[in-house]
Amino acid sequence: MSDWLLGTPLAPIPGAVAAGIVAGTLLPLLGMWVVLQRVVFLGITLAQLAAAGVALGLVLGLPALTMGALLTAAGVVGLTAAGRGRVADAGDSQLGALFCVASALALLFVSRSAGDLDQVDHVLHGNLVYADMDDVRIVGATLLLCVLATLATFPRILFCTFDPDTATALGLKAPRWLLFLFFVLAAALSVSMRTTGSLLTFAMLVLPPLAALQLKRGLRTSFVLASTLGLVGTLAGLFVAVSADLHVESSIVVTLFATFAVCSGFARRWWIGTALLAACVGGGVLLAQDGVSEPSAHEHLHDMAAEDASGESHAPYHLDLELAGRATPEGDLAVSWTLDVHCVTGPDALPPQLWLVLTGDGGLSEEHELLHEMQSLPVGDSRHTGTFGVPGQGGVHRIDGQLWTGSLEGADSLPLEPERFAVLGADVQR
């Protein structure tokens, strides 16, 4: 996955890219049903209920995803009763009331949990940057199952959403099929919530379908377009966010809205669409360049290292390591790392192996191999990324580290000279 990202600004966050691709492609396929039934407000209410459920799970120490799905499903049942058997018929007033209480409960629940403000931010706004491959697998498998469930029942769901009265008259149990659809949505929303947060989840659910429907194509083409626009908007948002050092989830929401605006433009006049597209691409490029021109934390680190190295004009190599940590719901510590290797004189000067002694508060000291056979690396710059987990260390607040070479257990192991490397530690995210 991360190989093709090398050399792009997205290379340090392969997990976020993978999670973004999965959610950005699959959520719009479910969101089409929300938009077609004109129950967008219902969609955001369910997303907020899922957030409240996840938060409740964090407070009670129960599985957050299960709690999110359960609370959303309970909301679907309640709204079905309010809508006299049809969840989509629930009134605006009932939806508004439920939305308010779900938003408030999400805040109350996370404020009672140990993580406090970090968790508020995580649940409500997501934490895509720290998504690891385990997150991607869970979100991907769940969303894929949800999409397959709607594909297998596509003709029935289509008939029951298009004309529920006639579907019932002809013998289909439309309320049950609609209930099934919203249970599927509940599962999808609650699982996505943990990775993408309520705002981005809702945006991925409705903005790409709204954009696709602007283009007034056929049914199947609209579904494919929604998925494609979701993917394009997500990748564009990630690119702009990382390049310009912006909040990732908010940037994706804005680029998804930009796809909607561009599609609306094309739906009216081709030149309006073209102008909007040019404006959006131009704005994104300017933002990205602006971000590059200002030294980011990572570049600052690199510059400091270069200054250190400048005292030794013949420094054969320099290593920059950037760490990121996240506490998982299971109480483990997930660590992602990005290593920039600046090989000046030749690979022979590089240490043969490289491993990290990860340190942290509470006496954390954990060894992990980062690279072996370093001497096969090319002259010049190369970037390497990876993730690993440290079981039972979810309570650590800050991580740092030192680089060592030699074999892990061997007597030849020794720390690298301090002027050869720089490690940027990080606060552990919750």
Residues lying near other proteins in the complex (CB under 8 A): 36, 38, 152-153, 155-156, 158-159, 161-163, 165-172, 213, 216-219, 221-222
Across 331-342, b (16+ Cβ under 10 Å) vs e yields ebbbbbbbbbbb
Q: Which is nearer to other proteins, 153 or 250 (CB)?
A: 153
Nearer to other proteins, 89 or 121 (CB): 89
Torsion of Cα atoms, 234 then 218 then 37 then 195, to 10°: -20
In the complex, the smallest distance separating the C-beta of residue 180 from other proteins, rounded to whole angstroms, is: 12
Pick between residue 38 and residue 314 the one whose CB is nearest to other proteins: 38
Distance CA(295)–CA(311), nearest Å, equals 22
Q: For other proteins, which is the closer residue by CB, 218 or 362?
A: 218
Q: How far is the CB of 154 from other proteins (least distance, A)?
A: 10
Residue 274 is which amino acid?
T
Residue (93 or 376) nearer to other proteins, CB:
93
Q: Name the minimum Å distance from CB 166 to other proteins.
A: 5
Taking the C-alpha atoms of residue 108 and residue 106, their distance in angstroms, rounded to an integer, is 6
Q: Which of 220, 90, 87 is nearest to 161 (CA)?
A: 87
Biggest CA–CA distance in the chain, Å, is 84
Our CB check for other proteins shows the closer of 117 and 169 to be 169
Q: Least CB distance from residue 300 to other proteins, whole Å?
A: 50
How far, in Å, CA of 286 to CA of 422, rounded? Answer: 31
Tell which residue, 371, 367, 372, has the closest CA to residue 408: 367
* Eight-state DSSP code of residue 87: G
Give me the least distance between CB of 167 and other proteins, in Å please. Answer: 7
- Smallest separation, CB 240 to other proteins (Å): 30
